[in-house]
A and B are shown apart, each in its own frame.
Chain A
Amino acid sequence: MKISKPILLLLLGVMVIPIFSIIVLSFQNTGGELLKWYYVILKNERFTEAFGLSLVISTITALLCTFFSFIFSLTWFNKNQMFVVLVLILVIGLLPPDIMALSIIKVSQLLGLYNSNLLFLCIGLTLYTMPIGVLLFWSRFYFIPDSLIISGKDIGMKRFYIVTKIILPLSRNTAISCFLLSFLLAFNEYPRTYYLSGADVLVSEFLNGKLSSGADGSIYAGGSITIIITAVSILLMALFQAIFNHKGQTVNAKS
């Protein structure tokens, strides 16, 4: 059916193109100076502080998410444990973020921890990104032949060595993708940062506040920066995946 591709391209265009409209807005009313709003936003101290803090929080979240997602995703090799993790990620991933964030706040208050906003923000963001990280690792483990694990067991490898010598090296690219994906999710997340960041302002909060109240063109430049970061990271992930697929095909062809 030759009409399939045009239909899909049209639908893809409807879904993707609107997001770039904010980049168009960032170049309007600049008075001849093309990058005027970008200079203005990068000179805004509140934005740069929020941006820096978001980078730090997102990086910590991405590291935590990659580590814990890998650990929890190992349940793939035990169907009962896998079901438990599946239920937990469903429940944690699909609970409205506002209720999830408030639950974390209440639990922290009940524990007597009132001044640990950024710690609980990292926990909240890790819980948010982990379901996707676990699913990403599971999608990789699906392609690891059972015979590799069985061979490892046959030669007397302990569970720890099967994980570190077989599963981990085969999941290196997935770990990189998981890091990038969780970084992006944490960097762009608004509801959880709104409830959990306390007095600190992150870039998503800054943008939400300015976009809903209506500000000058510099806020469109701020929004465009986040879109460019997201698009570049997605391209990097795609590149890693393409290299991985290419390597896989080369190995298959040789064997």
Chain B
Amino acid sequence: MCLLISVPLLIIGWLAFFLNDAEPGKPSFSLAGFNELLSPLRLTEIMKIAGRALTVCFFATTVSFFISYLLMLKTSKAFQFAFFVLITLPFLANESVRVFSWQYVLSENGLFNQILSSISGRHVTLFDGSNNMNVYIVMIITCIPFGVFINSASLGTIPPIYWKASNDLNLSSISAFFKVALPLSKVALVTSVIVIFFISFSLSAEANFLGGDSKISIRNLVLSLMSASKFQAIFFLGFIIMSALTFFALIYKLATRNRISI
């Protein structure tokens, strides 16, 4: 079992530590990838990407949990079905087309500014096509469906007796949310935080289309390392991400095993 789990990790680990960028035909151990990633320029880029992913992860998880709660407890099965069908469209659509559509909607004369102008009665230019705020907005909206799928699946498995008990105890909707839904969805929340963090870490088209002057993204980092023939650094980054994912999965396994034994 451990051997199978470690196969992808071993492959990328070999590429990260033994791939000789200078002479690809002659593999030899080196920490060139590690040194490259720790250089101030690369480290700043990675920290910015990770920081953005953390922010996106926080907002997307919060909003998605709120959506899932309303969806699973306050709406009919037919409404839930229609909601899940419609929410998959942006999730499945072509990345460039989806982000370009957002660029158009968030432009100076776009739909959002027009709606805000008509509500306020004066010309509003809150969104201007390419800036950092738009990158965050689009990334959060892109990640919400993932959180909704995970949290809805978890909320859907909570036995109805809990909601009946909360009704019998005259708990308000807000109290039921904090005392029933939230504690029983801890695992799902942690899962969605991890999944959304890594997905938003990988998103690049948003920064490329909407980032304006600042186009820091994982794709641009990879392309820049590629053009400098620093492949080891790319695979070292992949090795770190893979190790983190494997670590989280093992922690999850241990945590659930302890819970069952209790």
Contact = CB atoms under 8 A, between A and B. Distances in A.
Nearest to B100: A211
B29 interface: no
Interface in B155-201: 173, 195, 198-199, 201
B120 to A, nearest CB: 18
Contacts of A48: none
A60 B43 CA distance: 40
Interface in A59-114: 80-81, 83-84, 86-88, 90-92, 94-100, 102-103, 106-107, 109
B145 to A, nearest CB: 7
Given A1-B173, A86-B249, A96 B70 contact: no
B12 interface: yes
Given A22-B100, A99-B222, A226 B93 contact: yes
A184 B202 CA distance: 20
Nearest to B102: A18
Contact of B74 (A1, A92, A100): A1
B89 A90 contact: no
A208 B100 CA distance: 9
A212 interface: yes
Interface in A1-24: 1, 4-5, 7-8, 11-12, 14-22
B242 A95 contact: yes
Interface core residue of A98, A106, A212, A227 (most chain B CB under 10 Å): A98
B141 interface: yes
A93 to B, nearest CB: 9
B75 A84 contact: no
Nearest to B2: A84
Nearest to B104: A21
A237 B11 CA distance: 36
Contacts of A226: 93-94, 97
A213 B11 CA distance: 37
A230 interface: yes
Contacts of B223: 98
Given A16-B90, A18-B105, A11 B67 contact: yes
B90 A15 contact: yes
Which of B100, B238, B245 has the most A CB atoms < 10 Å from its CB?
A: B100
Contact of A16 (B74, B86, B231, B238): B86
Contact of B111 (A5, A7, A18, A87): A18
B95 A190 contact: yes
Given A1-B173, A8-B83, A88-B5, A98 B97 contact: no
Interface in A180-237: 181, 184-185, 188-191, 204, 207-208, 211-212, 223, 226-227, 230-231, 234-235, 237
Contacts of A185: 92
B201 A190 contact: no
B241 interface: yes
A157 interface: no
Contact of A191 (B9, B97, B100, B204): B204
B241 to A, nearest CB: 6
A99 B75 contact: no
Nearest to B19: A106
A238 B242 contact: no
Interface string A152-168: 00000000000000000
Contacts of B205: 190, 208
30 contacts: A8-B83, A15-B87, A16-B89, A18-B111, A21-B104, A21-B105, A80-B1, A91-B8, A91-B245, A94-B195, A94-B198, A97-B202, A98-B218, A99-B222, A99-B238, A100-B238, A102-B235, A106-B231, A184-B92, A188-B93, A189-B95, A204-B96, A208-B95, A212-B96, A212-B208, A223-B96, A223-B101, A227-B97, A234-B88, A235-B85
Interface of A: 1, 4-5, 7-8, 11-12, 14-22, 25, 80-81, 83-84, 86-88, 90-92, 94-100, 102-103, 106-107, 109, 139, 181, 184-185, 188-191, 204, 207-208, 211-212, 223, 226-227, 230-231, 234-235, 237-238, 241-242
Interface of B: 1, 4-5, 8-9, 11-12, 15, 19, 24, 63, 67, 70-71, 74-75, 79, 81, 83, 85-90, 92-98, 100-102, 104-105, 111, 141, 144-145, 153, 173, 195, 198-199, 201-202, 204-205, 208-209, 218-219, 222-223, 226, 231, 234-235, 237-238, 241-242, 245-246, 248-250, 253
